[in-house]
A = this chain, B = another copy of it.
Amino acid sequence: MSSNPTDNIPDIVIGRLPIYLRALNRLAQEGRDITSSHELGQRLGISSAQIRKDLSHFGGFGKQGTGYQISYLQDKLREVLRVDQEWEVALVGAGDLGTAIAHYKGFADRGFHIACVFDASPKRVGQKIGQFTVLSVDDLKTTIQARNIKLGMIAVPAEYAQQVADQLVDAGVKGILNYAPINLNVPSDVRVQYIDPVVHLQRMTYYLP
């Protein structure tokens, strides 16, 4: 038995917490202090009962009838998701997509920052992308190990993605966000999340009139 109250939370619940946190961030930006499972549910298209149940895994954050204090709930969710610290991320791929990711401003205040950008192409290595100088993938392992980076993003063409994943895993990365449209094979202690716009589009065409 573990003393960590957040152990053994179903993965599907963990998957909804970033969505709750994002909605709370938005409410805070709007100047709000208090919200309710009902309001969150309406904004997110999730039932208020589901939201209350999900949050109850972590001890329950709200008082019956008075709603949730937004800043407190933000802090608790950041703590549960471990984004109350900032994580360095290694980005591999400095083409159009990698460049857009490197320029993206939305990581910093949500627990992440890109620490380094790698590419295999001699044309790109040494080039500047915003504040980054593109590094060679030959230096990937030493750089990632020296900085103890645990997260990587893959923004290379599909045919190179598995090879890059293998290099990231070999360097000690335990979580990979893969933008290449291909499933990766990784050891069981490494997590992979996928971003593939076509998969999302194909989920919608089934329902189109």
A contact residues vs B (CB 8 Å cutoff) = 6, 14-15, 17-19, 21-23, 26, 43-45, 80-83, 87, 89, 96-97, 99-101, 103-104, 106-107, 110-112, 150-151, 153, 158, 174-175, 177, 181-183, 185, 189, 191, 193-209
In the complex, besides A6-B206, A81-B205, A177-B204, 5 extra interface pairs with C-beta distance below 8 angstroms are A14-B206, A100-B100, A111-B198, A112-B201, A175-B208
With A112-B198, A174-B208, A208-B175 in contact, is A203–B14 under 8 Å at CB? yes
**Residue A96 contacts which of B100, B153, B175, B191 (CB distance < 8 angstroms)?**
B100
Across the interface, name the chain B residue whose C-beta is closest to A200. B193
Report the bound CA distance from A45 to B97 in whole Å: 26
Known: A26-B182, A44-B183, A150-B209. A202 touches B99 (CB 8 A): no
Q: Say whether A183 contacts B23, CB under 8 Å.
A: yes
List, in ascending order, chain B residues with CB within 8 A of A83's CB.
Answer: 202, 205
CB distance from A54 to the nearest CB of B (A): 13
